[in-house]
Amino acid sequence: QKTTCMESAMALPLQVCAQLCRRPCYCPWVPPRCPRGSPLVLDGCGCCKICARRLGEPCDFLHVCDQSQGLVCDYSAAPAGTGATCNFEESEEGCEVNGRVYRDGEVFQPSCKLQCYCLDGGFTCIPLCQEDVRLPTPDCPYPRRIEVPGKCCPEWICEARDQHLLRDAGAALGAASPLLPYPCQEWATEWSACSATCGMGFSTRISNQNRYCRLETQRRLCMARPCPALPAASPA
């Protein structure tokens, strides 16, 4: 009993603890039936089993919160010890993104294109939009990836030939392509591994970073490492 009261000294005076925790304990024979998600725990006196209070539910010295969920009885808005509610315990662990703090283990979306996971003060994100590549085909010779109003992820469209010619004419004049119905957004895949394990080789990527903003396969020279020198031929 003494330890329990000491633990709650910040919430209630020791005299109140002594008044609430009477001995011997008088508990009902049948433990209460708890709602789903609320385990049976000992009350604040360590005497009888009660249903743990959940997030946002009222709590006090006797009616404790579910500590297995990281909840504590928050008296910050109740200096007199009344009106407290179960809340997450404040911790230094968390992630701050765009001015908002997320709890450790929380999954959040800073934008419609990303889903992130907070862990140990940092966060990792995965893209929610597909980064697929659409190459030119006979039925769609001029595919373009554009932002669609009202939609989060960009989509591929098949550009009409007359629009494509207008874009080519604007690029040939060296202008900023004012005739285009939409701006050209540069896009490219990562460079592939070098084709040769030693000596000179080449790597490839798919990109629209060219004067026509058209998807194409680009190549560049690469060398992972020099090849070892061949042993000298022995005399006959």
- How many structural domains compose the chain? 4
User: How big is the chain, counted in residues?
Assistant: 236
Is residue 192 within 8 A of residue 184, CB to CB? The reply is no
Q: Do 79 and 103 fall into the same domain?
A: no
Does residue 195 lie within any of the structural domains? yes
Query: For residue 100, what pLDDT is reported?
Result: 77
Q: Do 72 and 117 fall into the same domain?
A: no
Of 84, 16, 53, 10, the closest CA to residue 1 belongs to: 16
Does residue 6 lie within any of the structural domains? no
Q: Do 147 and 192 fall into the same domain?
A: no
Q: Do 53 and 108 fall into the same domain?
A: no
Span 48-71, pLDDT tens digits: 999 999 888 899 888 999 988 888
User: Which one of 12-21, 39-48, 130-139, 185-194 scores highest in mean pLDDT?
Assistant: 39-48
Q: Print the domain residue range for 144.
A: 132-161
Q: Do 24 and 80 fall into the same domain?
A: yes
* pLDDT band at residue 11 under the 50/70/90 scheme: very low
Does residue 182 lie within any of the structural domains? no
Q: Which residue has the higher pLDDT, 177 or 169?
A: 169
Span 142-151, pLDDT tens digits: 888 888 888 8
* pLDDT band at residue 4 under the 50/70/90 scheme: very low
Element (H, E) at 216: strand 216-223
In this prediction the pTM is: 0.35
Q: What is the mean pLDDT of the chain?
A: 75
Does residue 155 lie within any of the structural domains? yes
SS3 content of the chain, % helix, strand, coil (to 5): 10, 30, 60
Q: Is 20 helix (H, G, I), strand (E, B) or coil?
A: helix
Is residue 51 within 8 A of residue 45, CB to CB? The reply is no
Does residue 9 lie within any of the structural domains? no
Does residue 175 lie within any of the structural domains? no
Residue 203 scores a pLDDT above 70: yes
89: left (phi over 0), alpha (psi -120 to 50) or beta: beta
Does residue 220 lie within any of the structural domains? yes
Give percent of the chain above pLDDT 90. 7
Q: Do 103 and 148 fall into the same domain?
A: no
Query: For residue 173, what pLDDT is reported?
Result: 46
Q: What is the mean pLDDT of residues 155-182?
A: 59
Q: What is the mean pLDDT of residues 198-202?
A: 79
Does residue 236 lie within any of the structural domains? no
Q: What's the CATH number where 219 sits?
A: 2.20.100.10
Q: What is the mean pLDDT of residues 205-234?
A: 74
Q: Do 79 and 27 fall into the same domain?
A: yes
Q: Do 73 and 23 fall into the same domain?
A: yes
Q: Do 23 and 76 fall into the same domain?
A: yes
Q: Do 156 and 211 fall into the same domain?
A: no
Q: Do 81 and 107 fall into the same domain?
A: no
Question: How many CA within 13 A on the CB side of residue 174?
Answer: 0
* pLDDT band at residue 216 under the 50/70/90 scheme: confident
Q: What's the CATH number where 84 sits?
A: 4.10.40
Span 86-136, pLDDT tens digits: 887 765 567 777 777 788 788 888 888 888 888 877 788 888 887 777 777
